[in-house]
Structure 1
């Protein structure tokens, strides 16, 4: 994925697409920050799944910011956040539909042998490990919670 970011940055620079340039640079900086933190902890550099988790977190942050901007009467800043979300989404695999999320959650619950709400963390960690960037984990946790009741 790192090569994909470098290629995208090169194309954006040629096209003088300032929003895309700044967003890709933000992505690369976030990945480099995680690499540095991992190096300090004696871990390997971030792999593609870790990058997908970083991208999903960046999208969530921008969605929250856009909502705050809209609530405070700053639609131009909210629009910027949404443009960044669109750029970041271009690097992630397609998001699961709600039906697919329910199906995957049910499968993970049966595989882990979860019986109650105390097993919810175990199920969520498996989902985050297997499907980074492919679903909204806040919604997935609600589905898992409903299925475990």
Structure 2
């Protein structure tokens, strides 16, 4: 089943269950997906949808940090609830060992020898890790390995 179909089915389930929070988050995700499809005049596949959902989760995590710093715990809790719903539709996150192995494999596969080759390594890793790991943290690990 495609991710879009799964989102639509879960929206219907949330409507039946009268779960307003879950329904709102799923509708927001479907709206963001539809907006990108209209803007880019294309139909998103599962990878594209995962990229949209990952971006939404990242935005909410940044908001949680800002709300917490500002003493707005009720707003941070609302954002955290949205993150929980969105993460249900993302692939399982990679473990630290899996990430480390993928980085090593990507370095050897791309023949990277220095920091100048970091783009090659990240080009190999990004499609494989999209939605499964924080690519910002991964790039820091790649940088550390290439500098070693």
State the Cα deviation string for residues 21-71 of structure 1 (Å, max 9, x = none). 1110111011111111221xxxx4111011111111111100000000000
Aligned residue-pair number: 145
State the Cα deviation string for residues 73-114 of structure 1 (Å, max 9, x = none). 100000011111000100011100111111111111111111
Aligned to 1:22: 24
Work out whether residues 106 and 125 of structure 2, in 8 Å CA contact, stay in contact via their aligned partners in 1: yes
Q: Distance in 2 between matches of 1:84 and 1:15?
A: 17
Gaps of 5+ in 1: none
| Alignment TM-score, normalising by the size of structure 1 | 0.93
Q: Distance in 2 between matches of 1:123 and 1:104?
A: 10
Q: Distance in 2 between matches of 1:29 and 1:78?
A: 22
Aligned to 2:68: 70
Q: Distance in 1 between matches of 2:129 and 2:27?
A: 25
Gaps of 5+ in 2: none
Root mean square deviation, CA, Å: 1.0
Aligned to 1:60: 58
Aligned to 2:101: 103
Moved over 3 A (4+): none
| Alignment TM-score, normalising by the size of structure 2 | 0.94
Aligned to 1:32: 34
1:84 to 82, 85, 100: 82
